Structure 1
């Protein structure tokens, strides 16, 4: 099992090589040759020009840093984070997600949201503090539910306007203030496709750095209702036999795991 030990301050002595997750205009730097192993470089490579730099922890004993650079260094190119993560093994993918969220928190909270004073990094914890009013801001997480609705040997899959052509996935939506995850599942399913569900089963969760979500996935059994796609949110939705699914997300995302594992559970009879 790959071990990542999160930390705010570097542990001494520093590791001989370092994982650098460096971003330019919101995109992750990767080597021109697309050899992701070249991300393990000397500790000083990105330090001189870094506009923002944060220690993340250690992955299998190797220090991990997140930084923002003003431009692409020679021999590197900036690519969208989602595309870069799809090429990474899971341990690196999750640290890249952490790096993106830490940098977004740092970017979005340079000024106090209560009094507009410039904030400062708080020593010893991942926080920015206002020196004028004392307001403290920690990295933000936005919980969101994902629900894969099933009926017999069919799955309810949908696509939003921003999906890649031909791709369908499970339903998803953000938790509202004062709402439990379970209440959110029932509400969002009803809003997005007009059906009611029961028998919610927790599947798993995934940090999703677009920009700072925590996806909490469930399966849910259909109870009643005909599919009515929510205008402006759902482009298309339908019931699909498990042996005739449309294009679905890769295992890069929790939705890809959820759909494939639910199909297996229906086939072996463990989902009732």
Structure 2
């Protein structure tokens, strides 16, 4: 089970780390497998702690400034659905969200001063004007249209392959 956290606990075993390298909606996974499990990050790049899953530290790796992907396989986040366990897919989505947040909140949105990370949550604080920013929440409403034992599914041109969704 994954538990989100802003900072790693002191008793975390580094030999069990899970790494989620991401770049613009693409997740880099072990070829033919899933998320990267290793003591060290698979690629030298900025990392962000996401939380703990079954005693292992989970980290996002920001590959936006790196062209080195090592031997990892690039897979779009949507295409990863159903290919890895659901809890790992949720972690991959969170990694993309946090990397995007970290990249877009380097400077204060109010006065353009470099922000500082709040040590006890994911907030970014401006030391100049005190403005605070947090990762965006994007609530959604999902509707399932039923008719007896049938359901209405939708397909969008932007969907990869034969990926269908509810409305």
Out of 43, 55, 70, which is 1:61 matched to? 55
- Greater per-residue strand proportion: 1
Which of 1 and 2 has higher RCO (CA within 8 Å, sep 6+)? 2
SS at structure 1 position matched to 2:73: strand
Taking a change above 3 Å as real, the CA distance of residues 156 and 79 of structure 1, as seen in their structure-2 partners, is closer
Aligned to 2:112: 116
- Greater per-residue helix proportion: 1
CA contact (8 A) 1:24 1:72 kept: no
Out of 71, 86, 89, which is 1:90 matched to? 86
**Distance in 2 of aligned mates of 1:168 and 1:27:** 19
Instruction: Summarize deviations over 1:133-179 as a string: whole Å, max 9, x none.
Output: 111111101111111223455544444343457765422xxxxxxxx
Aligned to 1:9: 7
CA contact (8 A) 1:7 1:55 kept: yes
Structure 1 position 112, deviation (Å): 1.7
**Distance in 1 of aligned mates of 2:163 and 2:78:** 16
Aligned to 1:18: 17
Taking a change above 3 Å as real, the CA distance of residues 113 and 158 of structure 1, as seen in their structure-2 partners, is same
Structure 1 position 24, deviation (Å): 3.5
Taking a change above 3 Å as real, the CA distance of residues 135 and 45 of structure 1, as seen in their structure-2 partners, is same
CA contact (8 A) 1:24 1:78 kept: no
**Distance in 2 of aligned mates of 1:156 and 1:25:** 31
Can you give the 5+ residue segments of structure 1 that lack an aligned partner in the other structure?
A: 172-272
CA contact (8 A) 2:108 2:114 kept: yes
Can you give the 5+ residue segments of structure 2 that lack an aligned partner in the other structure?
A: none
Structure 1 position 77, deviation (Å): 3.0
TM-score by length of 2: 0.83
**Distance in 2 of aligned mates of 1:166 and 1:14:** 40
Q: How many residues align?
A: 164
Q: What aligned pairs does 1:152-163 form with structure 2 within 5 A after superposition?
A: 152=148, 155-163=151-159
The answer to whether 1:43 aligns with 2:37 is: no
**Distance in 2 of aligned mates of 1:95 and 1:124:** 20
**Distance in 2 of aligned mates of 1:120 and 1:130:** 6
**Distance in 1 of aligned mates of 2:156 and 2:101:** 27
Taking a change above 3 Å as real, the CA distance of residues 159 and 17 of structure 1, as seen in their structure-2 partners, is closer
